[in-house]
Amino acid sequence: MADRDHPPGQRAPGGRQRGPQRPVVAVNLWYDVGSRHEPDGQTGFAHLFEHLMFEGSVNVAKTEHMKLIQGAGGSLNASTNPDRTNYFDTVPAEHLALAMWLEADRMGGLVPALTQETLDNQREVVKNERRQRYENVPYGDAWLRLLPLLYPPGHPYHHPTIGSMDDLNAADLATFQAFHTTHYAPNNAVLTVVGDTSADEVFSLAERYFGALAARRDIPAAPDGRQVPATGTPVRETVRAAVPAPGST
């Protein structure tokens, strides 16, 4: 294991063990931004931006990021939680440079390519995800109701990562461009590479592709997420809802 801070401030841990029987590498880019970083009125933005990161950049057309990785025999995905957003690719070792270039490209080149049409499309995708996972399944809204009971208003964990429909509907293009500019910077990310490669190769590629990206000087401090003291009094909420019988309309 080797660990190095690059000039823009990005940390890049690189594996040193080579595995010739498994010529594969995994790339993970971890951004220090999640739903706890969202200000009032912008709940769900971190997760929605995870979707937007696959919608093209200055140098890569819409959906091409996925096609390039899969066309090279790799796989990719991303996830968002209250504390971070991460993007990960697994590719044959000879395509490590491709994976790292793609991640650097969308870190630095997404905002100029972001359009209102793309935002509107992915907003609807996320709203449907909320319906499918939380609103239209048995007990799906339990988590949405539990968080506000556990954490008081103003606490960064008070709202779910999926966000509210009202905030998602109110999102505009300029706000999302500012969100990316604020949080998607090399000094707000950790790049990790493991597999059939060397530390020297990883650091060289990181310098080549991420080295020209400017650090952000005004990244907001993380909100206070300290544990809320127990009240000693049980917190209860009774929910009554009409559920249609199977097959009814």
State pLDDT tens for residues 136-182: 888 888 889 889 888 888 899 999 999 999 999 998 999 989 999 99
pLDDT at 22: 86
Pair of tokens at residue 54: 């696959």
Angstrom distance (rounded) from CA 125 to CA 131: 10
- What string of pLDDT tens digits covers the 249 residues of the chain? 566 666 565 555 555 455 556 899 999 999 999 999 998 899 999 999 999 999 999 999 999 999 999 999 999 999 999 999 999 999 999 999 999 999 999 999 999 999 999 999 999 999 999 999 998 888 888 889 889 888 888 899 999 999 999 999 998 999 989 999 999 999 999 999 999 999 999 999 999 999 999 998 888 887 777 766 666 677 777 777 666 666 665
Task: Please name the helix (run of DSSP H) or strand (run of DSSP E) that holds residue 211, with its range, or none.
Answer: none
Angstrom distance (rounded) from CA 187 to CA 223: 18
Is 124 labeled as catalytic in the residue annotation?
A: no
Q: What does pTM read for this prediction?
A: 0.85
> 218's torsion region: left (phi>0), alpha (psi -120 to 50) or beta?
alpha
Pair of tokens at residue 53: 């990161």
Structural domains in the chain, CATH included, are: 24-210 (3.30.830.10)
> 72's torsion region: left (phi>0), alpha (psi -120 to 50) or beta?
alpha
Supply the angle between the helices 173-183 and 45-52 in degrees, to the nearest 10: 90
Q: Which of the following is catalytic: 50, 55, 103, 117?
A: 50
